[in-house]
Structure formats: C-alpha cells, structure tokens
Amino acid sequence: PMKSLKTLSEFDFDQAYLRAKTGNFEGLTFKVIHAQDLLREKEATNRPKDQGDIEHLRNLEE
C-alpha cells in the first residue's frame, strides 16, 4: 500500500486512501490520490516547485 504522503497524520492518510480512486492500465491496478488530498499535501509541504501545482489544483476546485 502507498505510504508516501509525508505531512498527513496516520488518520488523514487513512482517509485520503479511502477517497483515492482505483485505476487500471494494461492489467495493472493502482490508486490515485483525490485532488483535494493532493492539494492539502502540497500546501502543507509548500515547496517552491509545487506552487504551479497548487494553483492548478485550486482552480480545479472552482
């Protein structure tokens, strides 16, 4: 299982995992984080390289 979200508490991670969508590509099944959870993670880390992603994810909410 994925456990790479650094800033989420274990409870928050579990909730994000439940909201994640399941994808399938060429027989490979995988989880995709929900956009709101990704935004929350990127805002919490607030790295300069994430600023464009944060803006884009905020625009998706509108």
Q: Quote the domain boundaries for residue 25.
A: 10-61
- The pTM of this model reads 0.74
The 10s digit of each residue's pLDDT in 1-47 is 445 556 666 668 889 999 999 999 999 999 999 999 999 989 988 89
pLDDT at 9: 67
For residue 52, pLDDT beyond 80 = yes
* 4: in domain: no
The token pair that represents 17 in the structure block:
């995992």
Identity of the residue numbered 57: L
Which helix H or strand E contains 30, and what residues bound it?
strand 28-32
Count of structural domains within the chain: 1
2 found inside a domain: no
The CA–CA distances, whole Å, from 55 to 7, 11, 34, 40 equal: 19, 26, 16, 12
Kindly state whether residue 22 falls inside one of the protein's structural domains. Answer: yes
Predicted pLDDT of residue 28: 97
30 neighbors 23 (Cβ within 8 angstroms): yes
**DSSP character for 51?**
H
